[in-house]
Amino acid sequence: MRTQADPVRAENEKRYLKSDFAHIGVPVPAVRKVAVSAVKTKPTRDDLVALARALWDVADDGRPVHEARMAAIEILMKRVSLLEPRDLGMAERLVRDSASWVYVDQIAEKVVGGMVLRYPDLATALDAWVSDPYMWIRRTAVLALLAGVRKGNPDLVRLDRFGDALIGEREFFIRKALGWVLRELSKKDPEWVVAWVEPRVAVMSGVTLREAVRRLPAEDAARILGR
């Protein structure tokens, strides 16, 4: 990755992300290409986890390297089928080490969500995470549900429960996450989304509401927004 470093891009990206990490200025597609090539030949679970941990801990002058962390996420997403229930703790550690959507969102949906789809009993961890003091863990609990939504196997019981637990959130990133999941579900099950959103309009944040109705049929969206 360092052979493709661009100092100008590094500074711009660091500024955009408001990051305290070291940046070397490699575009995401290039990071992905390099990272995925390392696991092109299917590794063992142990090798995958060891590589992800090593990349996550790469530092430059004591600061984590942004591109190395992105590479760690890329290889875990690529080979999520190799992960086992015991690896949920590793995924949680990565989220707790993160302080930006740029890392958390992919871990939440593709890694945690992918593991929950494969091992449904792991969803009980999300029940605890949704009330965790750390905002990015709460966001992960919600966004992990996206994996099931996209696969046509949504966990509507948890979405209903998590939505009510978080509907009064003040954090923008939680409000946005809830709306995002509702928006994605509305593409496949608009009736459920309408039935859930409409009676909660008075207590729902504008951010959540706008996302939730974005893909609803125009008549339903107009009626809900008119309330």
For 59, phi then psi, to 5°, come to -135, 155
- Predicted TM-score (pTM) of the model is 0.94
Task: Give the tens place of pLDDT for each residue, 61-85.
Answer: 999 999 999 999 999 999 999 999 9
Residue 148 makes CB contacts below 8 A (sequence gap 6+) with 113, 116, 117, 154, 155
| Share above pLDDT 70 across residues of the chain, in percent, rounded to a whole number | 100
Q: 227 pLDDT exceeds 90?
A: no
Q: Evaluate whether 75 touches 38 at the Cβ level (below 8 Å).
A: yes
Task: Give the tens place of pLDDT for each residue, 112-139.
Answer: 999 999 999 999 999 999 999 999 999 9
Mean pLDDT value across residues 194-215 = 96
Give the chain's domains with CATH numbers: 1-82 (no CATH), 88-227 (1.25.10.90)
Indicate the pLDDT class of residue 42, thresholds 50, 70 and 90.
confident
pLDDT at 92: 98
Which of 150, 126, 128 is closest to 140 using CA atoms? 126
Task: Give the tens place of pLDDT for each residue, 147-174.
Answer: 999 999 999 999 999 999 999 999 999 9
Q: What is the mean pLDDT of the chain?
A: 96
